Chains A and B, each alone.
Chain A
Amino acid sequence: MHWIDYVNPHSVREATELLAEHGESARILAGGTDLLVLLRGGTMDNVNLVVDGKSIPELNEVTYDPQAGLTLGAAVPCYKIYNNQAVAHAYPGLIDTASLIGGTQIQGRATLGGNLCNAAPSGDSIPAMIALSGVANIAGPSGNRSVPVEDFCTAPRQTVLKRGEMLVSLHFPPPVPNSGARYLRFIPRNEMDIAVAGAGVSVVLDNGTIKSARVSLASVAPTPLFVKEAGEALVGMPATEESVRIASGLARDAARPITDMRGTIEYRKHLCEVLTRRALLTAIERAKEA
């Protein structure tokens, strides 16, 4: 690896000042499971300052309140999410993704915040967070702002973060009654793999009718894809497989994958239908149990 410097700030302000000063040549380090691989891989030769975010209190926050929802610091590793009973109970759709990123060791380090900032089309947690109406809390030299997760990634490995800005935390609204969410991805192995396609969904039911729904896809577009029309098509429909098929068909149509080592265009579009349908059916089951 080329030479890098390492700093370990203890406040958001200290970190954003460093980021503002160094611009593109500085990167925030959370779990490092993507960043260190990229630094070694020769695609980040311009980066020479690593700013460790793990000593900043706000980045380690895990606060759940049934009225206020969940605030998840950007540097909280996956295992701390699924080992948190209250969070696991309130957000099973989030646990789906936290427990399938990498393997046990990776989950000891990898963070949802890092997954979002890495902005890979295949980022497993991103569709799950979109489905849960997650919001990214950003701090920067000119103050704080919030961006819905679906608007955060702008292109492969590109985000809305401007010079000096960093992701501080993710916020999820409290689960409403009769709601359910699910993230499902398809991989050729059973663990340790990158999604060929993934679907994150959520539904809110009202007496057997779908009150609202959100559908999002991974690995089938330059960024994780929020398929707004698929969720909207379900509003007012009965919570049946027939209805679900309409939404999953829309998800398939919305997918814009490429052919690569993970699969062909046709196969990946097909998977979007299958995964969206399966995920929605599970989300409906979860909503009925909730």
Chain B
Amino acid sequence: MTTTAYEPNMVLVNETFDVVGTRPIRHDGADKVTGRALYGADFDTAGLLHGKILRSPHAHARIKSIDTSKAEALPGVLAIVTAKDLPTTKAGVIVDFGEGNMELKYLRDNILASDKALYKGHAIAAVAASSPHVAEEAAALIDVQYEVLEPVLTAPEGMKEGAPLVHEDLKTEELGEKTDKSSNLASHFRHTKGDLDQGFQEADIVVEREFNTVTVHQGYIEPHPATALWNQDGRLHIWCSTQGAFVVRDSCAQILDIPVSQIRVVPMEIGGGFGGKINVYLEPVAALLSKKTGHAVKIVMSRADCFEGTGPTPGSYVKVKIGAKNDGTITAAHAYLAYEAGAYPGSPVGAGGMCVFSAYDIDNVVIDGYDVVVNKPKTAAYRAPGAPNAAFATEQVVDELANKLGMDPIDLRLKNAAKEGTRRADGPVFPRIGCVEVLEAMKSHPHYSAPLEGPNRGRGVSIGFWFNIGLASSCSISVNDDGTINLVEGSTDIGGTRASIAMQAAEVLGIAAEDVRPSVADTDSVGYTAVTGGSRTTFATGWAAYEAAQDVKRQMIERAATVWEVDADSVEFDKGAFKSKTDPELSMSFKDLAGRLSSTGGPIVGRAAVNPQGAGGSFAGNIVDVEVDPETGKVEVLRFTAVQDVGKAIHPSYVEGQMQGGSAQGIGWALNEEYYMGEQGQMTNTSLLDYRMPTSLDLPMIDTVIVEVANPGHPFGVRGVGEANIIPPTPAIANAIHSATGLRLERLPMNPGAVTEAGWKQRK
């Protein structure tokens, strides 16, 4: 195995490490390049049945009746379930997913619709049959009578007086207080800092613009799979691809009204999630079908099911107004954020409000957030959920301010950049952060000073902030007598975290990354561990591994003391060896001592459960060059540089990979991706052909600049790196298009038709 020397582009971490910062081959690599790794859909067991879900063809409809008799009569059909098979739920129970939460009765209704279908694709009924084809044929034989209702499809539309109500019983929560008003507006919050009017009075220049974005999907390549076996002993076993096995366990326990101890969730390998594989969709349905049949039941979504029946990220209406003095000092900023929640309350507008101005130190700020239910799938997390919608607005308005002030856009950002001690409008005061360092790395990058060769080309920049989360993680380590360790953790590995977690344990114990055998365990076999999400896994589960390794180290020191018949206080561990502080003759490598454990008292198991705070926010910036075809409006991304403060890169290759992947998703979001909705709320482009995620031919190489401003809240200085990188691409590309064409695009996606028609509008 090769480990390449690592040269970060900017280092503000002074410590040097042996394992941290190297690039070992990931532990699960061979399985994943040979096809041996087992993902959710690969699961098989004796007597397995196949399930299929019937979904609503209407965006908004009352369910008048469901007749399953024809479907039941089809040979090979073993069971059919509807919402009636779910236990009734108590009102007011909140289910927490780690990255988002949802009221139980809504979660249950989202699994199988009870009285109304609230979006096209809403699950209505499900069949278990001997083959997927029979299940599909049977689902088509279920006769559902609907009373079709008028749908409401956008946040501004939903907030209008007299709009059709998605939930007749939903009352608006206004600034934290429940009102009596029935509305699609679930809640309105406001953050304030300073005096907004005073701030705008101090400004020499004010720019205000309105922006609209539409629903987009995470686009993971693996459709959701789930298999459930409700065993004859009453225990429910679930094999699925999830970002959080414990979230699946807890959600299913709530929805099915059984104790968590009755459920075991086995996380299979997961084929991408990006936030979209946290909520449960199939698992409770497969469980019900299994209970009815006594067999294991597997359900795998189709691609159209993924688009229509899971949780995309919302469309939004955002208005941003920023005032600045002639010297570039931003004096005031106001944001109006109205996000589509989808069919049930809970859009990521809260996170949008936390991020909209957080790259800047501004004295006078008001942020208004509106969470609006509409007849679309309930939104779920998608990589920095809520932040890109907001940054698309803020970063274009800041760009326009720079243009009007005649300032370099990075200088304007540097002049107002958030730093340690800056208080965000939503409350928190920043600890040590890397906003300034990211901007400086952008400014000094050769890309920024390279000439733009050729006509119709432009360059744009932008910056984005994501707060990251901590949450609980558990880990145990057992020492093998050959000097290796087995590490058991509960974070599903979605992109190399077995490696980044194992490396932190290896660093503590002075062993090689390859001497760690990491495994992801089921919910019976490891302590509670929150989702692989919120950019938390390398940070929090890595910390758990660090602490578990410290526990091993303590026990090994005691064991060395026993062997040497000295006091444990006189033994230290340094550079992979146990040594006596007083007698230089007494020294033993980790491997030597590991070989003597069985003869000196038995095995050693280290363990840790952590719930760390201080995740440390991450800033990401982009420099983008585009060329715009003046006749077709097509935007080609010519060059792309992604810069991000990662705190400390544990495995730099996978850190770069996160930055490149987030950038690519941001580029897709900027240029082509969208739920193209018919007037009645039917998504018309439910295939990967028509949804148009970037192919390899649509992207340039994505240059990465890793900035390391150590997070004081982590033993190795780690900041989560998974999410911030998706925030800057949409505005950076918009700013580049403006630079190339003079057009200010206020709507996503900026597809060829939109760019061309914006040009026509401007010329009129």
For the complex, give the distance between the alpha carbons of A147 and B671 in Å. Answer: 42
Assess the A194–B757 pair: CB atoms within 8 A: no
For the complex, give the distance between the alpha carbons of A4 and B474 in Å. Answer: 52
What per-residue 1/0 map shows which CB atoms of A174-217 lie under 8 Å from chain B? 00000000000010111111101000000000000000000000
Q: Is B672 an interface residue (CB 8 A)?
A: yes
Query: Looking at the complex, which of B13-21, B92-100, B748-756 is the stretch in contact with chain A?
Result: B748-756
Nearest CB in chain B to that of A273: its residue? B631
Assess the A191–B671 pair: CB atoms within 8 A: no
- Counting residue pairs across A and B whose Cβ atoms lie within 8 Å, the total is 55
What per-residue 1/0 map shows which CB atoms of B727-764 lie under 8 Å from chain A? 00000000000000000000000011100110010000
Q: Is B146 an interface residue (CB 8 A)?
A: no
For the complex, give the distance between the alpha carbons of A271 and B634 in Å. Answer: 11
Assess the A274–B753 pair: CB atoms within 8 A: no
Assess the B698–A194 pair: CB atoms within 8 A: no
Q: Is B519 an interface residue (CB 8 A)?
A: no
Query: B760 to chain A: which residues have CB within 8 Å?
Result: 266
For the complex, give the distance between the alpha carbons of A271 and B756 in Å. Answer: 10
Assess the A261–B685 pair: CB atoms within 8 A: yes
What per-residue 1/0 map shows which CB atoms of A241-268 lie under 8 Å from chain B? 0000000000000000000110110110
> What's the minimum C-beta distance from B78 to chain A, rounded to whole angstroms?
19
Interface bin, chain A: 20 to 34
From B140, B671, B676, B753, contact of A267 by CB (8 A): B753
Assess the A260–B689 pair: CB atoms within 8 A: no
Query: A274 to chain B: which residues have CB within 8 Å?
Result: 631-632
Q: Is B294 an interface residue (CB 8 A)?
A: no
For the complex, give the distance between the alpha carbons of A160 and B469 in Å. Answer: 62
Interface bin, chain B: 20 to 34
Query: B631 to chain A: which residues have CB within 8 Å?
Result: 274
Assess the B672–A189 pair: CB atoms within 8 A: yes
Known: A1-B133, A1-B136, A194-B689. Contact between A264 and B753, CB under 8 A? yes
- Which residue among A190, A264, A274 has the maximum number of chain B CB atoms within 10 Å of its CB? A190
Query: A2 to chain B: which residues have CB within 8 Å?
Result: 133, 137
Assess the A192–B695 pair: CB atoms within 8 A: yes
For the complex, give the distance between the alpha carbons of A189 and B133 in Å. Answer: 33
> What's the minimum C-beta distance from A231 to chain B, rounded to whole angstroms?
22
Assess the B690–A188 pair: CB atoms within 8 A: no
What per-residue 1/0 map shows which CB atoms of B665-681 lie under 8 Å from chain A? 00000011000100000
For the complex, give the distance between the alpha carbons of A2 and B139 in Å. Answer: 12
Known: A261-B676, A274-B631. Contact between A189 and B757, CB under 8 A? no
Assess the B672–A191 pair: CB atoms within 8 A: no
Assess the A193–B133 pair: CB atoms within 8 A: no
Query: B137 to chain A: which residues have CB within 8 Å?
Result: 2
Q: Is B1 an interface residue (CB 8 A)?
A: no
Assess the A260–B757 pair: CB atoms within 8 A: no
Query: A193 to chain B: which residues have CB within 8 Å?
Result: 689, 692
Assess the B695–A266 pair: CB atoms within 8 A: no
Assess the B634–A188 pair: CB atoms within 8 A: yes
Assess the A188–B757 pair: CB atoms within 8 A: no
> What's the minimum C-beta distance from A2 to chain B, rounded to whole angstroms?
6
Nearest CB in chain A to that of B635: its residue? A188
> What's the minimum C-beta distance from B80 to chain A, rounded to whole angstroms?
19
Q: Is A270 an interface residue (CB 8 A)?
A: yes
Known: A194-B690, A261-B684. Contact between A188 and B751, CB under 8 A? yes
Assess the A261–B753 pair: CB atoms within 8 A: no
Assess the B676–A188 pair: CB atoms within 8 A: no
For the complex, give the distance between the alpha carbons of A264 and B695 in Å. Answer: 24
Query: B671 to chain A: which residues have CB within 8 Å?
Result: 188
Query: A186 to chain B: which residues have CB within 8 Å?
Result: 632, 634, 752
Known: A1-B136, A191-B697, A261-B684. Contact between A196 and B752, CB under 8 A? yes
Query: A196 to chain B: which residues have CB within 8 Å?
Result: 752-753
Q: Is B694 an interface residue (CB 8 A)?
A: yes
For the complex, give the distance between the alpha carbons of A260 and B695 in Å. Answer: 22
For the complex, give the distance between the alpha carbons of A186 and B676 in Å. Answer: 19
Query: B634 to chain A: which residues have CB within 8 Å?
Result: 186, 188
> What's the minimum C-beta distance from B608 to chain A, rounded to whole angstroms?
46
For the complex, give the distance between the alpha carbons of A194 and B692 in Å. Answer: 10
Assess the B690–A192 pair: CB atoms within 8 A: no
For the complex, give the distance between the alpha carbons of A248 and B415 in Å. Answer: 52
Query: B133 to chain A: which residues have CB within 8 Å?
Result: 1-3
- Which residue among B684, B685, B694, B753 has the maximum number of chain A CB atoms within 10 Å of its CB? B753
Question: Which parts of B106-165 form the interface with A (CB within 8 Å)?
Answer: 133, 136-137, 140
Known: A186-B752, A189-B694. Contact between A271 and B632, CB under 8 A? yes
From A190, A192, A266, A271, contact of B689 by CB (8 A): A192
Assess the B753–A263 pair: CB atoms within 8 A: yes
Assess the B690–A261 pair: CB atoms within 8 A: yes
Query: A103 to chain B: which residues have CB within 8 Å?
Result: 695
Query: B695 to chain A: which residues have CB within 8 Å?
Result: 103, 189-192
Query: B136 to chain A: which residues have CB within 8 Å?
Result: 1
For the complex, give the distance between the alpha carbons of A3 and B134 in Å. Answer: 9
Assess the A188–B752 pair: CB atoms within 8 A: yes
> What's the minimum C-beta distance from B315 to chain A, rounded to whole angstroms?
15
Nearest CB in chain A to that of B757: its residue? A267
Assess the A260–B684 pair: CB atoms within 8 A: yes
Query: A189 to chain B: which residues have CB within 8 Å?
Result: 672, 692, 694-695, 697-698
For the complex, give the distance between the alpha carbons of A42 and B52 in Å. Answer: 15
Assess the A264–B757 pair: CB atoms within 8 A: yes
For the complex, give the distance between the alpha carbons of A76 and B567 in Å. Answer: 82
Nearest CB in chain A to that of B634: its residue? A188
Known: A196-B752, A270-B756. Contact between A188 and B692, CB under 8 A? yes
From A1, A190, A260, contact of B698 by CB (8 A): A190
Nearest CB in chain A to that of B760: its residue? A266
For the complex, give the distance between the alpha carbons of A186 and B633 in Å. Answer: 11
For the complex, give the distance between the alpha carbons of A78 and B726 in Å. Answer: 38
- Which residue among A2, A190, A261, A271 has the maximum number of chain B CB atoms within 10 Å of its CB? A261
Assess the B676–A190 pair: CB atoms within 8 A: no
> What's the minimum C-beta distance from A142 to chain B, rounded to whole angstroms?
37
> What's the minimum C-beta distance from B61 to chain A, rounded to whole angstroms?
19
Known: A1-B133, A261-B690, A271-B632. Contact between A188 and B685, CB under 8 A? no
For the complex, give the distance between the alpha carbons of A261 and B682 in Å. Answer: 12
From B632, B690, B697, B751, contact of A190 by CB (8 A): B697
Assess the A188–B672 pair: CB atoms within 8 A: yes
For the complex, give the distance between the alpha carbons of A36 and B694 in Å. Answer: 25
Query: B672 to chain A: which residues have CB within 8 Å?
Result: 188-189
For the complex, give the distance between the alpha carbons of A266 and B685 in Å. Answer: 21
- Which residue among A2, A189, A192, A266 has the maximum number of chain B CB atoms within 10 Å of its CB? A189
> What's the minimum C-beta distance from A32 to chain B, rounded to whole angstroms?
16
For the complex, give the distance between the alpha carbons of A190 and B698 in Å. Answer: 6
> What's the minimum C-beta distance from A101 to chain B, rounded to whole angstroms?
12
Question: Which parts of A90-121 form the interface with B (CB within 8 Å)?
Answer: 103
For the complex, give the distance between the alpha carbons of A271 and B133 in Å. Answer: 42
Query: B685 to chain A: which residues have CB within 8 Å?
Result: 261
Assess the A267–B690 pair: CB atoms within 8 A: no
Nearest CB in chain A to that of B694: its residue? A189
Query: B756 to chain A: which residues have CB within 8 Å?
Result: 267, 270
> What's the minimum C-beta distance from B260 to chain A, rounded to whole angstroms?
39
Interface pairs (27), CB distance under 8 Å: A3-B133, A42-B140, A103-B695, A186-B752, A188-B671, A188-B692, A188-B751, A188-B752, A189-B692, A189-B697, A189-B698, A190-B697, A191-B697, A191-B698, A192-B689, A192-B695, A193-B689, A194-B690, A196-B753, A261-B684, A261-B690, A264-B757, A266-B757, A266-B760, A267-B752, A274-B631, A274-B632
The 5 closest A-B pairs by CB, nearest first: A261-B676, A190-B697, A267-B753, A263-B753, A274-B631
Which residues of B come within 8 Å of A, CB atoms? 133, 136-137, 140, 631-632, 634, 671-672, 676, 684-685, 689-690, 692, 694-695, 697-698, 751-753, 756-757, 760
- Could you list 12 further interchain pairs (A-B, Cβ under 8 angstroms) beyond the known A267-B756, A270-B756? A186-B634, A186-B752, A188-B634, A188-B671, A189-B694, A190-B695, A191-B695, A193-B692, A261-B684, A266-B760, A267-B753, A274-B632
Which residues of A come within 8 Å of B, CB atoms? 1-3, 42, 103, 186, 188-194, 196, 260-261, 263-264, 266-267, 270-271, 274
